[in-house]
Amino acid sequence: TALAQKTKEMIARRQRLLGPAYELFYQDPLHLVKGDGVWLYDADGKRYLDAYNNVPSVGHCHPLVVEALYRQASMLNTHTRYLHENILNLAEKLLSTMPTNIGHVMFTCTGSEANDLALRVANEYTGGTGVIVTAYSYHGMTMATAALSASMRQNMPINTHARVIPAPMHCKDNSSQVGRIFADNIRKSIGDMRLHGIKPSALLVDTFFTSDGGFYDPAGFLQEATDVIHDAGGLLIADEVQPGYGRSGEFMWGFQRHGVKPDIVTLGKPMGDGHPLAAVAADSQILQQFGANTSYFNTFGGNPVSAAVGLAVLEVIEKENLIENARCSGLAIFQGMEALAKQFMAFGDVRGAGLSIGVDIVGEDNLPDPEYALHLVNRLRSKGVLIGVIGPHANILKIRPPLVFKPEHAQLLLDALEQELRNGR
C-alpha cells in the first residue's frame, strides 16, 4: 500500500538523518498524524486505542490544554527573569497538593533535568555523593542521571559512588517482608559506601518502580527505607515522573501511597499533557543552601506558555475527576487481567495501582518469555491497541494509558488481548 511505502521511506530517512541511538516501536513502526483523547490515528486514518502513553495525561490534544497554550503563546512567552503570574499560579497549585514540608518549586523542561537538579541539591545539602538506586531503574539521560539509570547503562559505567539494590519485588507470600528486605539492602549499601569513604546523599526511587517492572505493594513498604536513609544523613528523592499526577487512582502522588514524606520530589511527563514541562519540589530548608551557593536559570523551564499549560492540566484533572476515573478504569483492567491469568498460562503475576499495570508474560517453565510478550505487543498493534513491554527481561506488559481512559476502553483492551491469547503462540 501507499502507507507501507511511505513508512519504508520514512524509516530510511530516519536512519540517514537521526543518530543511531534512537529506537522505534513495533515490527511495523507506526506513523501517527493525529490524537484525540485516548485515540491515535495513523496516516491512513486507522484508529488506535492508546493504552501506553502517560505523557498525554488528560488525553491527546485536550481542548482546554490546547486553548491555554494557544492563548498564552499568542500573548507572550519569555522566561523566569521577568515577573509573570502563570508560574506563580502553577507553583501555588502544585504546592497545595504536596505534604507541608515541601515548600518551594523549581521548573525544568524534562524529568532528566529535574532529577539532575534534585541530585545537585541533595549533594549540596548533605555534603554527600552516594546515591542509592534500584537495579533496573530509569531516571534520565543527562550525564548524572544516565550514570544512575541502571536500566539504560548497557555498556556505560554506573556512577562509582552509587549503589544499586534489587527492586522491592513483591509476590503473594512475601508481603510482610518487602519493606524490611528493601531497607536492609539500603543499610548494606550505606555500610559499603562508608567502607569506601563515600558519604550518603540520597535514595532516589520511582515510587512505582516502573522500569524495574512495577512494584506497588504492600502500600507503606517505603517507610522503613525512608527512615534508614534519613538516619544515615541522606535524603529521599521521590521520582514522580511515572507515578505522579493521579496515576495511582488514589492519590495525586505515588509516595502518598506509602505514607512517606520525601525531601525532594521530581515531576515530569504527565505535567504538560505532551508539552515539555517538569519540576523539582522540595523542602524549603534543603533548597536554602543551594540557593545561597548558586543561582539557577533554565531558559525554557517555567515560561509563561508552559506554566499556562501546566495549570490547565491540573484544572482538567480536578474538573474531570480523573483520579477517580483512574481508579475505576484501573480496577477494570486489573480485574480483567487477573481473570485472563486464570485462563492462560502465559499470564503470570499481575501487578498494578490505578492506571499503571504490569503483567508478567511467562513460558511453560514459568520463566520470563520476552519473545511472546513482544509478539503480543505487535499483534495488539495490528488490532489497533497500543501497549508496551518493560522490565529487566522485557517480558512485562506495560499498560499505562492516559488518565481519561474509561472502563469501556478497558474492555476493548481486554477483548483484544483475550482474542490474541486464544490464538496461541
Residues in contact with ligand PMP by CB under 6 A are 110-112, 115, 138-141, 206, 210, 239, 241-242, 268-269, 278
For residues 126 and 200, is the Cβ–Cβ distance under 8 A? yes
- The nearer residue to ligand PMP, 206 or 250, going by C-beta atoms, is 206
Closer CB to ligand PMP, 84 or 398, in the complex: 398
As given in the structure block, the three cell numbers for residue 164 are 544499586
Q: Which residues contact 167 (CB under 8 A, 6 or more apart)?
A: 134, 135, 136, 137, 209, 212, 213, 215
As measured in angstroms, the least distance from the Cβ of 268 to ligand PMP is 4
Residue nearest to ligand PMP (CB): 111
Q: Measure CA 224 to chain center.
A: 23
Q: Tell the burial category of 291 from Cβ atoms under 10 Å away from its Cβ (0-12, 13-18, 19+).
A: middle
Closest separation in Å from C-beta 279 to ligand PMP: 11
* Residue with Cβ nearer ligand PMP (267 or 416): 267
- Beta pairing partners, 40: 35, 48
Dihedral sign from CA coordinates of 400, 402, 404, 407: negative
CA distance between the termini of the chain: 28
Residue 24 burial (CB < 10 Å; 0-12/13-18/19+)? exposed
Minimum separation from the CB atom of position 142 to ligand PMP (A):
8
Q: How far is the CB of 123 from ligand PMP (least distance, A)?
A: 18
DSSP 8-state secondary structure symbol assigned to residue 80: T
Nearer to ligand PMP among residue 261 and residue 269 (C-beta): 269
- Shortest distance (Å) from residue 243 CB to ligand PMP: 8
Cα–Cα distance, 348 to 362 (Å, whole number): 6
Q: From the CB of 356, what's the least distance to ligand PMP, in Å?
A: 11
Q: What angle do CA 148, 200, 119 make, to 5 degrees?
A: 45
CB of 240 to ligand PMP, least distance (A): 8
Closest distance to ligand PMP from the beta carbon of 292 (Å): 27
Amino acid at 9: E
Is residue 168 a contact partner of residue 221, using CB atoms and an 8 Å limit?
yes
User: What is the C-alpha to C-alpha distance for residues 213 and 150, in angstroms, rounded to an integer?
Assistant: 13
Q: At closest approach, how far in Å is the CB of 168 from ligand PMP?
A: 15
Residue closer to ligand PMP, measured from CB, 205 or 232: 205
Q: Give the residue with the Cβ less far from ligand PMP, 115 or 201.
A: 115
Q: Strand, helix or coil at 353?
A: strand
Q: Least distance from C-beta 118 to ligand PMP, angstroms?
A: 10
Spatial separation of the C-alpha atoms in residues 256 and 279, rounded to whole Å: 18
Residue number with CB closer to ligand PMP (268 or 301): 268
Contact predicate 148/132, CB 8 Å: no
Q: Which is nearer to ligand PMP, 268 or 348 (CB)?
A: 268
Residue type, 264: I
Describe the chain by its helix, strand, coil percentages, rounded to 5.
45, 20, 40
Which is closer to ligand PMP, CB of 111 or CB of 200?
A: 111
- Say which residue the cell 548533605 belongs to: 126
Q: Judged by CB, which is closer to ligand PMP: 209, or 347?
A: 209
Q: Which residue, 121 or 421, is less far from ligand PMP as judged by CB?
A: 121
C-beta of 206: minimal distance to ligand PMP in Å? 4
**CA separation (Å) from 109 to 24, 176, 186, 257, 378?**
23, 39, 31, 26, 32
